[in-house]
Structure 1
Amino acid sequence: MVRVLGRVTSINVRKVLWALDEIGEPYLREDWGLPGRDPKVPEFLALNPNGQVPVLIEDDGSVLWESNGLLVYLAQTRGALLPEDRRALGLALQWLGWQASELNPSWGYVVPGLLRRMPGYDDPDKIAEAIGRWTGTMGILERELEKGRPFLAGEVFSVADIAVGLSCHRWFKTPFEKREFLAVREYYERLRGREAGARWMPEDYG
């Protein structure tokens, strides 16, 4: 049985768990990641030299890491969660890459400061600047979703929706006054209507 190493409060771990649930593949999860089990120890670094979760270990012992890469790997090896149409496939991969390169970095100061309450992330000017940047990035997503497609690649739910959906969950769960993005809200609720979506975008953490 495939093993997933990582804590469920990690958005990147939840990407992999959501994908496995959508595929219907059983797995074992081992709790790794601060504040519980430090991934910087030699045992974990031998699996992922970056000391970050998630790590996926296949039945044959092969080890892979990096959450969005794992989403594509699972989709390709399990024959699910990526569209067959080439243009739709391109859209799915486009938005998956955008989540990592544009959307994810935009919350880099806000989430530690307002959601995690971490020391050192309490500068009000930096928080305001970061909120503006995050809001602008979410505005890009809003304009895309206003085109009326149910999912980012079109009619088919894909790994892009897992990554971006979890990012939307983080947006709604981080406490600050937000601009109302109606299309994003409808998209988010659509994803939470899926059994695995509801499981991995819970009310109690973002």
Structure 2
Amino acid sequence: MLKILGKSSSINVRKVLWTCAEIGIPYQLEQWGSGEQATDTPYFLALNPNGMVPVIQDEGETLWESNSICRYLANKHQRSDLLPVDAMARAQVEKWMDWQATELNNSWRYAFMALVRRSPAHTDPVALAAGVELWNRHMGLLDAQLASTDAYVNGATFTLADVVLGLSVHRWMAAPLEHPPLPAVQAYYERLSQREGYLLHGRNGLP
């Protein structure tokens, strides 16, 4: 059985759990991370030298990086609806997955650490204001894309891009900041909330 190592409240672990829910994959979850088993131990670092979750073990192999894990699971279970086989169609999905992992994630780091985590290292009001502005600007880019499709990130069909971006949308919606009106993002949030996997692992009260 697929083994997932990671804290079930982690946003990156929840990507994998939601992907498993969409595909119908049974798994064993071991809790690792802050407040659980430590990820800086020799055992865990041998699995992932970055000391980060999630990590999966499947068929005698180990894999880390949440977006790569989601791609692997969709490929293994031949879910071409989630990750297309056609080269360009697949690249369009992966483009938005990569944007989530690099551009969008980097935009919210300071604001999230200041407003949600209450980090003592993130108390500069100027940096916070800039962080909120940057986060909202990136969400505006997503809003424009969703307005153009009137459905999911990459078009009419739900894909892995919606798994990773759906988690990010919930993080933004739950953060205690002034949210500009983004009607396409709001409609998307409600559309995703019709999926059981999103209710369980996305819109579940966790930022």
Structure 2 residue aligned with 1:8: 8
Structure 1 residue aligned with 2:156: 155
Structure 1 residue aligned with 2:67: 68
SS of 1:147's equivalent?
helix
Structure 2 residue aligned with 1:113: 114
Q: Which moved more, 1:174-183 or 1:110-119?
A: 110-119
| One-letter amino acid matched to 1:112 | M
Per-residue deviation at 1:85?
A: 4.6
> Does residue 31 of structure 2 align to residue 31 of structure 1?
yes
Matches within 5 A, 1:117-156: 117-156=118-157
> Does residue 156 of structure 2 align to residue 167 of structure 1?
no
SS of 1:108's equivalent?
helix
Provide the rounded CA distance (Å) in 2 between the counterparts of 1:155 and 1:202.
21
TM norm structure 2: 0.95
| One-letter amino acid matched to 1:109 | Y
Provide the rounded CA distance (Å) in 1 between the counterparts of 2:181 and 2:35.
33
Provide the rounded CA distance (Å) in 2 between the counterparts of 1:39 and 1:177.
35
> Does residue 78 of structure 2 align to residue 79 of structure 1?
yes
Q: Calculate the aligned-residue CA RMSD, in Å.
A: 1.2
Residues 88 and 154, structure 1, Cα contact 8 Å, conserved in 2: no
> Could you report, residue by residue, the CA deviation over 1:129-182 in whole angstroms, capped at 9, with x for unpaired residues?
100111111111011111134112222211110000000000001101111100
Provide the rounded CA distance (Å) in 2 between the counterparts of 1:88 and 1:156.
11
Residues 6 and 54, structure 1, Cα contact 8 Å, conserved in 2: yes
- Structure 2: give runs of 5+ residues left out of the alignment: none
Provide the rounded CA distance (Å) in 1 between the counterparts of 2:150 and 2:86.
15
SS of 1:46's equivalent?
helix
Provide the rounded CA distance (Å) in 1 between the counterparts of 2:88 and 2:148.
16
TM norm structure 1: 0.95
| One-letter amino acid matched to 1:199 | L
| One-letter amino acid matched to 1:195 | E
